[in-house]
A and B are shown apart, each in its own frame.
Chain A
Amino acid sequence: MEIKKSTSWYSHSLRLLKNEIRRGELTIIFLAIVLAVATVFSLAGFTEQIKQAIVTSSTNTIAADRVLRLNSPASTEILSKSKEEKLRVARKIETESMAFAGDNMLLAEINAISSEYPLRGELRIKTSEDQQDTILVNGPPEGSVWVEASVLSRMQVDIGDTIEIGVLPLTIGGIVTDIPDRSYRAFIAGPSIFLNIDDMEKTELIQPGSRLEYKYLFAGEQDNIESFEKWLTPQLNDTQRWYDAKAAQNRLSRVLDSAEKFLSLASMLGIVLAAVAVAVASRRYGQRHQATVAVFKALGATINHISKVYIMHWGLLSVISITVGLLLGYGLILLGQEAVKNFIELDNTTLTLMPFITAIATGLICAIAFAIHPLSELMKTSPLLVIRGMSQLTKNKMSLHHAIPLVALFVLLFMFSQDLKMSASLLFGGLLVSLVLLGFGKLLMTASRSAGTKAGKALHLALANLKRRANENSVQLVSFTIAIQLLLLITVMKTSIIEEWQEQFPEGTPNHYLMNITEQQVQPLSDYVEQEGIANQGFYPVYRGRLAAINDEKTVSKRNRNTGNDNELATEKSDSEEEGRRGMGRELGLTWFNEVQPNNEVIEGTWWESNDQMPQVSVESNVAERLDIKLGDELTFTLATNTLKVPVTSIRKVNWQSRQLNFIMVFNKAALEQIETTSISAWMVPEDKKNEVYKFLSEFPTISIMDFGAIMKQLNKMIEQVSVAIELILVLVILAGSLVLVAQVQASMEERERELAILRTLGAKGSLLRNSVLFEFVALGAIAGLMASVAMEIAVYLLQTQVFQMDPSFHFDAWVIGIGAGASFVGVMGMLSCWRLLSLSSVTLIRRTM
C-alpha cells in the first residue's frame, strides 16, 4: 500500500506555532531558550569586554604590553626588530638619586622618559596644588620636571621652583597624580620625579657603575608582540628581563586571576541553569503535546507528517527564541556597559564574534539536545490514547538523565570556558550531587509525610501531596536545589573573594614605609606615632645579607629571566644545574623578632624564647621547601663583613597577601643584635595628617619614606571594578535560576489542575486548598534550600581550596538565606502560578480538566 504524503504539514505547523504563541503556551520554552542565549551572549560578551578592560587596566601597571628591562641601553638590533614588528616603543631610565632644593634633599625615584611614554594607561599631572582637573600628558619638556605631591612638602618647594638632579637644575612644572606603571616593589626609594630622557645625560647621573635601569616599553598587536617575544627571549641573559603585566605584579595578577575564574565560573553556572530550564520546559512541552499527536494520529496523520509539523514548529520556535535571545543579550551588554562605565573603561574593548557564535550554538544545542528526547518520545505517542484516555500519558523521565543532553552540556561548558577540567568537574560533580539529592529528597519527603500526620489539615494535605508525588517532586527538588545552590554558591564566592581582596587592605593598613631608621631615631619616631595615634607595625631592624651555604654546602642559583617577580620571593629556575646547592641568589632583607609576627604561623619546630642566647633562624615555608631546608639544617649567611652560621629551629607559613612587612629569614635577637643596622617601619598615615607627618619626618633627613597610598588606591579601584562586574553577572545568574523554578512549577500545573478539580468536587474549601498548595511549595522550597546549603558548602570548600587557593570558610548565614529564600521564593512562585487555578470556580475547573 502506497503512503500518500500530506502537503498540509507546514500550515499545521505554522498554525500550531501561531496559536500557541498567541495563547502563551510556548512562553516558558521560549523564555528558557531566550534566557539561555541571552545569558550566554551577554555573559560571554560582557565578560570578554570586562576581561579586556581589566587586562588593559592591568597593562597600565606597566604602561605597556611588555617591558624589557636592561642595565645598559638596548642594541639597535632589538629596536629595529621591534620597528619591523610595528611595535610602538617608549624608553625609560630609572634610578634612585638625591634631589636637592637649597638645603633640602630627598632620595627620589628618578624616571627619565621619552615623549612616547606611556604606551598604555595615563600619566596625569596638575599644574597647581589646588587644581581639581588633571591634565593628560606624555613626558615633561626639556628643562622641566614633574614630581609627586610629597616632593613639594618634603623639600618645601612649590611649582615653578627649581630642584637639582645630579648637576642639572630643573624647574618643577607639575604635580604627578596618576602614574601608569607605579612600582609595586616594597623597597623603592622615595617619591617619583619625571624628567625628559634627553635631560638625563646632562644630569651626569649616567656614570660607569651607577645603578641605572633601562626600560624599553613595547605595545602593539598581540600577534606582533608574540612574534617579537619569540625572537627576543632566547637572546636574553640573566640580568635582562622581559615581562608583562601579570608577571609584574603578583598581588594584582591574583586579583585578576580569581576575577577571571569567577566570571567564567558564574557564566558556566548560568549556562547550566538555563539549560536545566530548557530541559524542564521541553519535557513539559513533550507531555503537553502528546494529546495533540494522539488526535492527529487517530485522524490519520502519518509519522512523517507529524515529524515535519514538529520539526518545523520546534525549528521556528528555536530561531525566534535565539534571535530574541541575541537581541536581549545585546541589550544586556549595553546595559552592563552603561552600568559600569564609571568604574571600568570599555572604550578600548571590542565585542568579538566568539560570544555571538557561542550564544547561537548554545541556543541550538539547548533546542536540539534537550528537546530531542521529549520530541522523539512525542512521535511515538500511540493513537490509542484517544480511546484509552489521556490519563495514560507517559511521563518522560527528566531529560537530564539522558546522555545526549549531558554530552551537549559538556560541549557547551567546554566551548564557553575552554577549560576541560573545570567543565568536567562541574558536570560530573553536578551529576553526582543530583543523584545523591534525588535519594535524599525522597527520604526527606517521606519523613515530612509522617510528621504531617500530626499537623493541621492543610499541612497534612500538603505533605501527603509531597509524598504521593515523591518521584516527580524529587526531580523538581533537584532542580530547585541546584538552582538555589548555584545562587548561594555565586553569592558566597563573590562575598568571600571580595572580602579576601579587601582583607588585604583593612582599615589601618599601612600606606607609608619608612626605611633607613637609625637606632637613635627609633625612640623619637615611636614616641611620635604613639602621641599622634598613628597606626603602625612597629620597628624592625633590617639587615642585607646573602644565604651563602646550607649545611656548609655552597649555594648557587640561576635567575629566572622571564619572570617579572620583584617580590622578596623571587622565583627560581628549578633546574639549577650548576655545581653546588640551590640558593636564593640575591640579597635578602633579614631581621630579628622576639615574637611571631601576625600573618605568620609556625608549622614546624618551635619559636624561640626571647631571652634564648643561642643564635637561631626561622625560614619561610615555601623557600624551605624549594631549597630543601629542614629543621636543624645549618644556614650560613654573609652580611657585609660578617659571616653568620645558625641552625633552623622553625619553619613559618607566611601570608604574603597581607600588606605587612614580611621576611623570609627571621632570626632571634641573639643572632643579629651585635651587628649594626637600620630599621624599617610601616605607618598608616591618614590623608589629612600627611603634611604634618612629612614636616615631622623632615627633621630626620636620612630616613627614606615610601608612600604606598597611591598604589593602594589603584588596587582598590580595580577591586571595586571587578566587584561591580561580578554583581552584574550575579543578577543574570539569578534570572536564569528563577526561570528554572518557574518552569518547574509550570510543569506540574496540569496535574495540579486535575487534583484541585477533584478536591473541589469533593467539597474542599478554597482556603484549605490555598493553604495546602502554599504549604506544599514552601515545604518543597525549604527542603531544596536545606539541601542546596549542604551542597553549596561542599562546593565552596572545594572551590576555595582547589580553584581559588583561599582559606576554606563556613557560611551559616547562607544556610539561613538558602532555606528562607528557597521556601519563600518557591512558595510565592507556586502560589502565583496556581492563583488563577485556585480562584476558578469548581465548574470551570472541572470543565477545564475534562
Chain B
Amino acid sequence: MQSAPEIILKVNALTKSVLLEEKTLELLQPIELSVNAGESLAIVGSSGSGKTTLLSILAGLDVPTKGQVYLKNYPLHQLNEEQRSQVRAEHVGFIFQQFLLVNSLTALENVMLPAELANLPDAKAKGLDLLKQVGLAQRADHYPSQLSGGEQQRVAIARAFITRPDILFADEPTGNLDSKTGKHIEDLLFELNEKLGTTLVLVTHDSKLAGRCKRQVEMDSGVLTEKLSVKSNEEDVSNSQTQSSIA
C-alpha cells in the first residue's frame, strides 16, 4: 500500500479581516485547505474575491487574523516576520504578476538572489544553468530594463526554482503578458514544476491556466470552494456549492 502523500500546506479555520472606518471587513471567511506535496493547485476567482489575500497568507507574507497555517509543518501564524522570512528563504519560491526583478541586479544576479539568501552553494552555476533552461543564457548580464516582459518573467521563473523550493507560489504569472508569450511562460512553468517535483500554488483568473493544474479552488467574496471533477477540459468543470473541507 502506497504511503499517504506528505501534506505540505495546511490551513485551519483561517480568517482575515481589516478594520475600515470602525467597521470590520471580512476579507476571508473561515477557510480550510490542505495541499499535498507535488500537487498543483489553482486558486481562481474574480478581482477582489480575496484570492491574493489568501496567497499572501499561505506564503507567509502576511498573517491571518484567526486560524492556523502550517507550511512544511512550520506554524506560520505563530512565527514573527524574521522567522517567516527564513521559512520563505528555505522552502518557498515566488513568481509575481509584475515579475519584480531587482532593477539594480543583472538577470543572473536576480536568479542567484534566493540561493544566496538561503546560503546555498554554487549559486552562480545553478543560476546559469537555470537561465539556460529558460533560454536566456545569453542575457545573463543584462539588466531587467533591457529585457522584454516575457524575458523578465522567464528570469523570474528561473529565480523561483533556483532554491528547489518545496512549494512555489505564482500570482497571475502570465497576467502581464500577451497570449503567445503567456503560453510560453505557462509551458515553462509547468515543465520545470514537473521536472523538479515542486508543489505549485497559483492564483489566476485565467481558466485555461487554472485548467492545467491538477486541482482548482475558487474564491468568491472570501469564501473558498473546491471545484470538483477537475479536468483540463473547461466544459467538465462544474462548481460545487459545498464549503471546501479537504483533509
Contact = CB atoms under 8 A, between A and B. Distances in A.
B102 interface: yes
B85 A8 contact: no
Given A19-B106, A387-B56, A301 B85 contact: yes
Contacts of B101: 295
B116 interface: yes
Contacts of A303: 81-82, 85
A296 interface: yes
Contact of A3 (B55, B61, B86, B119): B86
A531 interface: no
Given A20-B104, A300-B90, A4 B98 contact: no
B105 interface: yes
B143 A3 contact: no
Interface in B23-72: 52, 55-56, 59, 61-62
A850 B119 contact: no
Interface in A534-582: none
A460 B56 CA distance: 42
B120 to A, nearest CB: 10
Interface string A680-715: 000000000000000000000000000000000000
Interface stretch (A9-17, A405-413, A423-431): A9-17
A8 to B, nearest CB: 4
A295 B90 contact: no
Contact of A299 (B56, B103, B117): B117
Contacts, number: 107
A299 to B, nearest CB: 5
A850 B176 contact: yes
B116 A850 contact: no
A149 to B, nearest CB: 73
B66 to A, nearest CB: 19
A383 B61 contact: yes
A297 B105 CA distance: 16
A1 B61 contact: no
Interface string B91-113: 01010101011111110010001
B74 interface: yes
Contacts of B102: 291-292, 295-296
B229 interface: no
Interface in B100-142: 100-106, 109, 113-114, 116-119
B124 to A, nearest CB: 11
Contact of A387 (B96, B106, B148): B96
Given A12-B116, A384-B56, A850-B149, A292 B82 contact: no
Contact of A384 (B61, B106, B145, B148): B61
A25 interface: yes
B171 to A, nearest CB: 6
A4 B119 contact: yes
Interface in B162-204: 171, 176
Contact of B118 (A25, A300, A390, A850): A300
A222 interface: no
Nearest to B114: A299
Contacts of A805: none
A390 B104 contact: no
Looking at B79, B85, B88, the one whose CB has the most chain A CB atoms below 10 A away is B85
A389 interface: yes
Contacts of A302: 82, 85-86
A384 B61 CA distance: 6
B104 A384 contact: no
A305 B106 CA distance: 20
Contacts of B176: 850
Interface residues on A, range: 35 or more
Nearest to A20: B104
B100 A300 contact: no
Given A297-B85, A299-B113, A850-B149, A19 B118 contact: no
Contacts of A15: 104-105, 109
A302 B87 CA distance: 10
A19 B119 contact: no
A304 interface: yes
Given A3-B82, A295-B100, A850-B98, A19 B143 contact: yes
Contact of B61 (A11, A298, A850): A298
B83 interface: yes
Contact of B89 (A16, A19, A292, A300): A300
Contacts of B159: 299
Interface string A459-480: 0000000000000000000000
A300 B82 contact: no
A21 to B, nearest CB: 10
A383 B85 CA distance: 9
A386 interface: yes
A401 interface: no
Looking at A294, A848, A850, the one whose CB has the most chain B CB atoms below 10 A away is A850
B46 to A, nearest CB: 17
Nearest to B159: A299
Nearest to B90: A300
A7 B106 CA distance: 20
A6 interface: yes
A847 interface: yes
Contacts of A847: 148-149
B117 A301 contact: yes
B88 A387 contact: no
B117 A300 contact: yes
A314 B81 CA distance: 24
Nearest to A18: B104
A300 B86 contact: yes
Contacts of A230: none
A23 interface: yes
Nearest to A19: B104
A20 B106 CA distance: 11
Contact of A389 (B98, B109, B143): B98
A292 B116 CA distance: 15
B96 A299 contact: no
Interface string A276-309: 0000000000000001101111111111110000
A301 B94 CA distance: 13
Given A1-B79, A7-B119, A387-B56, A300 B88 contact: yes
Given A303-B81, A848-B145, A8 B119 contact: yes
Contacts of B96: 386-387
Given A303-B82, A848-B145, A6 B98 contact: no
Contacts of A7: 119
A345 to B, nearest CB: 51
B109 A300 contact: no
A298 B171 CA distance: 13
Nearest to A848: B145
A291 B86 CA distance: 19
A297 B59 CA distance: 12
A235 to B, nearest CB: 72
B89 A299 contact: yes
Nearest to A11: B116
Given A12-B113, A296-B117, A301-B89, 20 more contacts: A4-B86, A6-B116, A6-B117, A15-B109, A19-B104, A19-B109, A292-B103, A296-B102, A298-B61, A299-B89, A300-B92, A300-B118, A301-B85, A302-B82, A302-B86, A303-B81, A303-B85, A387-B55, A387-B61, A387-B171
15 contacts: A1-B79, A8-B116, A12-B113, A292-B102, A292-B104, A294-B100, A297-B85, A298-B94, A305-B117, A384-B56, A384-B61, A387-B52, A387-B96, A389-B98, A848-B145
Interface of B: 52, 55-56, 59, 61-62, 74, 79, 81-83, 85-90, 92, 94, 96, 98, 100-106, 109, 113-114, 116-119, 143, 145, 148-149, 159, 171, 176
Closest 5 CB pairs of A and B: A300-B89, A8-B116, A300-B88, A387-B56, A299-B114
